[in-house]
Structure 1
Amino acid sequence: MSEQQASHRTATPSSTGNSPYALVLAGGISHEREVSLRSGRRVADALLEQGWRVDVREPDAALLPSLADAGYDVVWPALHGASGEDGALRALLDLAGVPFVGSDHRAARLAWDKPTAKTLVANAGGVTPRGLALSRETFRELGAPAVLKIVENAFDFPLVVKPAKGGSAQGVSIVPASDALPRAMVEAYTYGDDALIEYFVPGVEIAVGVVDTGDGARALDAVEIEPVSGAYDYEARYNAGETRFYTPARISPKAASAASELALLTHRALGLRHLSRVDIIIDSEDRAWFLEVNVLPGLTETSLLPQAILARGGDLGTTYAAIARTAIGAV
């Protein structure tokens, strides 16, 4: 989908009748713009297959004034990054009285801030790697060498450094030793003002999707992630052939059960709704470690939640339509 198509595309099935009418928001100005465009296209196509009327557009200055008269039954934000996931847009849609797919603005803000999400999950009984959030201002005021020295003395390596807010593995570094830490911090701060440092937990990387199609939240099969390069970075996530996926994951029944329980615990502890994706590490003792949660999972052709839906013979159109109808009925 091109930028022009994202702004103007209207897709209507040949026989609409009283078909539900959805607006899919895609694009935006975040670092994850291209992923958003692909996700939005896939959502729109899936709803079209179910006989929905669908508009796809960019978020712009004309969006909010147009909602009152457009007659949409539901809005599906497919905006990755801050514009779609930090809660601001969702708060405005709430104020406008427009039903939308996904978590409300309060839950989205909690999930968007990774250190906050880790704390809430830990308080609810989940296991998450020990971590430390550091702002760019802390480095300026206290001096990077002194701050990093404290970190080096307090943590064992390897570590993971990533932006405290954001997605798609942008700005994420695995730090094998202390000499690589300064560069990792700079990389994380490229994508935001706060960085999260946490222990690297070796194990099997999986993602567990949670969906609610009208009968309560349920965990999908875990998707195992095996990057060809060894790192599940931005390129590995969205370029076909860069990662091998296994659904269900090649983990023990005990680990699969623990992962499902952790995903549902996370979904509930943060007050999420409709859909989410929880990123988890399964260690050598089959423990499930919470890493982060995404309230707007990628929905591209290589994304994890769609793979989990399809793995057991599910249909994307049927599932997405049910999620959208759930969002309409929740208002």
Structure 2
Amino acid sequence: MTADIPNDVVDDAPLLEVRDLQVEFRTKAGVAQAINGLNFTLHSGETLAILGESGSGKSVTAQTIMGILDMPPGHIAGGEIRYRGEDLLQMPEEQRRKLRGMDISMIFQDALSSLNPVLPVGWQIAEMFRVHLGFNRKDARARAVEMMQKVGIPAAEKRVWDFPHQFSGGMRQRIMIAMAISLDPDVLIADEPTTALDVTVQAQVMSLLQELQMESRMGLILITHDLGVVADVADKIAVMYSGRVMESADVYTIYARTAHPYTKGLLDSIPRIDAEGEKLKAIPGLPPSLTALPPGCPFSPRCEFATELCREERPELREIAPGHRSACHHAEKIHAMSEEAQNEPA
């Protein structure tokens, strides 16, 4: 099956390949289609950003790849997740557990709630080496100090036995990163890694991730709703809405020549320094219920370009230019509008 997200020119096979992934949640209100036919590939040294509002399926995608989706109520209805060619969904749980943390790792959204509040941070980092590599306590502690130093935590030797509440938000996120990269994974999933951090600390955390990626050539999946963060770090972008990829391309194409109304709405909502006195733009309405998706395009109730065709027939993700795919009946029109706006004099 053709991937939804175009690849850069690379010589190696994909580290990670998701094929037609479908995930449902069975609730009292009905079956919620959290992910509906997701496809993408990730190569060594590449950064894929998955963008979208809350409820678009970003975090469910990450949890499914990691094998930590709550089942029930979650249910993987179909698809494949291939790591180095092997389908993780068909892998025995014991083998999957060995991969988790060592080959595929994850930075969770909220460091304070993700770290154990009653255990020193050094103990939590050291546990990665004890569980996966069989290190004794002394050696594991030494490696924990090394990892804390690697992610830029001052006085790591002294702070290795401090508790999570004794660190600032930015330092806690660095500890989460230290845990996630401690075993040198091939794939790192960062789920909203800069949430609740101020702008300066956000930049520091993202810069750290980029440095670590350059050192190890790991593939990075960045899950976020912050388009400002994405512009600086991503190679390619997938825009998700209601469990589907609505648009995918390299980062420049998404920002300069978008071809989907939802992506356009997200970009238009970014505050501009040269738009003094103008009202901030917002996408009207709310995402549809995942238990009662409309028959046509799920974005049609909020879309300024929607027609009867949009409300009746769901558009397929299709290529409108080399490496650029959009799930919109009017993609060419919006693409042309974006190009025209780019060509206007400043």
TM-score (norm 1): 0.29
TM-score (norm 2): 0.28
